[in-house]
Chain A
């Protein structure tokens, strides 16, 4: 009957009348089958057409050559330049490629605005929740290894301090952001990676090298941007995991997560909670921990309110209580043990943000403020293997307290011009006030860092195939720091203004091949960073770090160039990334051991301006997806990390025979070769198999072997950490799902086997995979 009206209604727009123009006829297909209803747009105009159900379309055009943008759901956007007159008597055939690899994903980290990953002038790597699940990650620290150039390492057997290294540079060169905001203070940087539960993470965006300097002049190695979930539906989820480290040490966690969003989507809230309890793990039976005891309670909320379609107010609150302890006899009070590092964190985060658009969505204004406060009780000490009255007095004086306040607030404005160029400008203020006191050691870190950053960036697209970002950041930073340990006192009084320029460009060589290049300048003002706040133990004494006198600012120049090749071979999709990086450091802050130079015989490390250095290397990443159910990704990094002149790591006072200065030409703890593999296989509706692996090549690890602080430079073996995981999924009903999973982390038990033993051990002598062979069982259920 009258159903035909529908067809007529929909076909109407295609019967456009041609006069002095050319009527271009075309067809859109995937090579064999027509693609119905693709959208064809003429670049730079508002003219366009839709293909009909047979993939055919007609378009009225001028005589001049035009660029057509062809889009269809599930296919990659295609651009094609055509001369309309050439198709007077023939049909323009357009072939679209399927988009299996998620190339059209939307990312924010590249330019601080939401743009498609493929159009981003810097390489943005996205870690999805799928990967965190495949690796059975409980915290962010577990899942970050699976990108080229990224490596997470544990630095202390006593306290489990972890850091993320990008392109071989230490953790302090990487800026960690939550929802694009630098809420991590120097103190949070020490243990923060283990305090973020993966259940609240929507995705993690990693930008390597300094291409993203708009996020901060200290983002020299790159940025790790944690984007939290934005709910639409009401949902709830319970997730519990039991892991047995080496088959004996329990690590259990419970995650709760629920979201409520109103029918009109104007208000919503997510509540989350995490409990984790891990016992100490002792790898060599000496009674001292290799993996720290960890008890974490976190809960928080994230709420939003949309007064209208163009604005949004967000509010988030998180409370974290984390206890960690390592050393020996963890059931005794710390002062009765040989070595204990005990930390009790009480952290509170609060943040608010406001976002506003105009009706045309060409103007975006964002304002935000967040505050973080941490109260920390610490114990770094112990009897150190002795049992004298003096040892006991020292052990009783190792308690300390830390207060840390971090404040971030800023505003950002962006305007999109009619030709798609974008101007982004913003202002950001940061305050970080840290007060760390251990009266028994006369140890004080009292530091206040104020910084104001003004940034501006212009995204210029003169032609279709070329995009460039021109930007700069002007930072004014002032540091007021007082540092003492025993009889040594140091100060840092800095007030300086630095301009950090940045340029990146993207050029589409062909449809399949993209070139990106970039330069960024960065700097860091002298101050105590996360590593300088960390205390380890060696020879039964503590090992402290302090800033040296007359520290100068550190500058860096980062260059990158990359080729990104994406091509389909029939139904198999492949992507290959080849990226070269070269970063030079001028006056890098380097910890130099002055040996057991403190009056009580403890070792003191000084943060000094080290020898000029550079890191240079190549990241290679290959992704292959033969079908919807199979996905493989592998990446490798080859790099060199070189001090231009010999860098002193240990200064000998000459009193111990056979010990001299330790000088090195390569970075320590930085392998020249490392990589990962990630494979997923959806076997059926119910079963899924994941296989992930990370490879850590041989590196040089400093190993302190005498009371004087003298160190050996050990060459470590290489490691391959493989995790298979099997998941069973059951849809009980539409609103209730159950997922059971099991697997083995580090199935080949590739783990360090030369840990020091006893109370005199060097607690920093730890390298390689974060855990030995670990069996895990997980259950997840809820309405998700």
Chain B
């Protein structure tokens, strides 16, 4: 029985691996939570916004490089989130919303603000976070990076 599960798990993995040649296997926050519960793994979280030219550049140029896709899909869970979404997101037993969107343009979602804010700086995009297997923040990057630089962060 155990072997069967193991086999199923492996085949799932290979399915993902096949898909991985095309694009990064982005998860939703809910999917991330259950995936972490099943199998701890390093995590990458990327915040973007529609107006952010550098975010678009990362999406189009960096996240499409085969070596980046391969590395992320192999070793990471990855979440890509619009920092200005008005969706309610459930994560770690908490509901996160975007209350400011009612009164403000380009309002930052609670979850993005929580993870992407810095002391002494206004919130800026893009924001990329790297977590270890225990889901502890290892590093946060608040600027544009090339695929080469991203691979360095991923291999840290």
Contacts and interface: CB of A to CB of B under 8 A. Distances in A.
Interface of A: 1-7, 9-10, 13, 30, 32-33, 35-37, 39, 41, 46, 48-50, 53, 71-75, 98, 100, 232-234, 261, 263-265, 571, 628
B110 A36 contact: yes
A2 B134 contact: yes
B115 A33 contact: no
Given A9-B136, A72-B123, 5 more contacts: A10-B117, A13-B119, A50-B119, A53-B114, A263-B61
Contacts of A261: 57
Contacts of A53: 110, 113-114
B146 A264 contact: yes
B126 to A, nearest CB: 12
**Residue of B91, B114, B119 most packed against chain A (CB within 10 A):** B119
6 contacts: A2-B134, A2-B136, A37-B117, A50-B120, A72-B123, A75-B104
A784 to B, nearest CB: 11
A72 B144 CA distance: 21
B7 interface: no
B13 to A, nearest CB: 22
Given A73-B108, A73-B123, A263-B61, A33 B100 contact: yes
A265 B103 contact: no
Nearest to B144: A265
Given A233-B56, A263-B146, A1 B36 contact: yes
A39 B122 CA distance: 6
A3 to B, nearest CB: 4
A263 B62 contact: yes
Given A53-B110, A233-B60, A72 B122 contact: yes
A234 B100 CA distance: 33
Interface in B15-70: 36-37, 53-54, 56-57, 60-62
Given A13-B119, A50-B118, A53-B114, A5 B104 contact: no
Given A1-B135, A6-B137, A264-B146, A39 B103 contact: no
Given A1-B135, A234-B60, A263-B61, A6 B121 contact: no
B92 interface: yes
**Residue of B104, B110, B119 most packed against chain A (CB within 10 A):** B104
- The 9 lowest CB-CB distance pairs between A and B, nearest first, are A37-B117, A3-B92, A232-B53, A73-B123, A48-B120, A37-B113, A264-B146, A5-B136, A50-B119
Nearest to A73: B123
Interface in B116-156: 117-124, 134-137, 144, 146-148
A418 B100 CA distance: 35
A48 B108 CA distance: 21
Nearest to A14: B119
Contact of B135 (A5, A10, A71): A5
B119 A73 contact: no
B30 to A, nearest CB: 13
B127 to A, nearest CB: 12
B81 interface: no
A457 B65 CA distance: 48
B14 interface: no
Given A73-B122, A98-B104, A232-B54, A50 B91 contact: no
Contacts of A233: 53, 56-57, 60
Nearest to A41: B120
**Residue of B100, B115, B136 most packed against chain A (CB within 10 A):** B100
B107 interface: yes
Given A39-B119, A98-B104, A233-B60, A10 B91 contact: no
Contacts of A75: 104
Contact of B100 (A4, A9, A30, A41): A30
A6 B105 contact: no
A49 B120 CA distance: 6
A30 B122 contact: no
**Residue of A13, A100, A264 most packed against chain B (CB within 10 A):** A264
Contact of B113 (A9, A33, A36, A41): A36
Contacts of B92: 1, 3-4
A71 B119 contact: no
B55 to A, nearest CB: 10
Contacts of A5: 134-137
B128 to A, nearest CB: 15
A527 B117 CA distance: 58
Nearest to A571: B103
A270 B136 CA distance: 42
Contacts of B105: 74, 98, 100, 628
B11 interface: no
A603 to B, nearest CB: 55
Contact of A37 (B60, B91, B123): B123
A1 B37 contact: yes
A3 B117 contact: no
B119 A49 contact: yes
B106 A73 contact: yes
Contacts of B146: 263-264
A519 B19 CA distance: 67
B83 to A, nearest CB: 9
A627 B71 CA distance: 44
B150 to A, nearest CB: 10
B61 A2 contact: no
Contact of A33 (B53, B102, B120): B102
A74 B110 contact: no
Contacts of B147: 263
Nearest to B119: A50
Contacts of A10: 114-115, 117
A14 to B, nearest CB: 9
Contacts of B122: 39, 71-73
A37 to B, nearest CB: 4
Nearest to B123: A73
Given A41-B120, A74-B106, A263-B62, A33 B99 contact: yes
A9 B134 CA distance: 13
A103 B122 CA distance: 16
Contacts of A71: 122
Nearest to A735: B60
A59 B136 CA distance: 27
Given A48-B119, A48-B120, A50-B120, A30 B110 contact: no
Contacts of B104: 30, 74-75, 98
A100 B103 CA distance: 11
Given A33-B103, A233-B57, A571-B103, A6 B115 contact: yes
A6 B135 contact: yes
Contacts of A48: 119-120
Contacts of B62: 263
B24 to A, nearest CB: 15
Interface in B64-105: 91-92, 99-100, 102-105
Contacts of B54: 232
Nearest to B134: A2
A418 to B, nearest CB: 17
Contacts of B107: 74
A3 B103 contact: no
Nearest to A100: B105
Contacts of A13: 119
A373 to B, nearest CB: 35
Contacts of B57: 232-233, 261, 263, 265
A576 B56 CA distance: 36
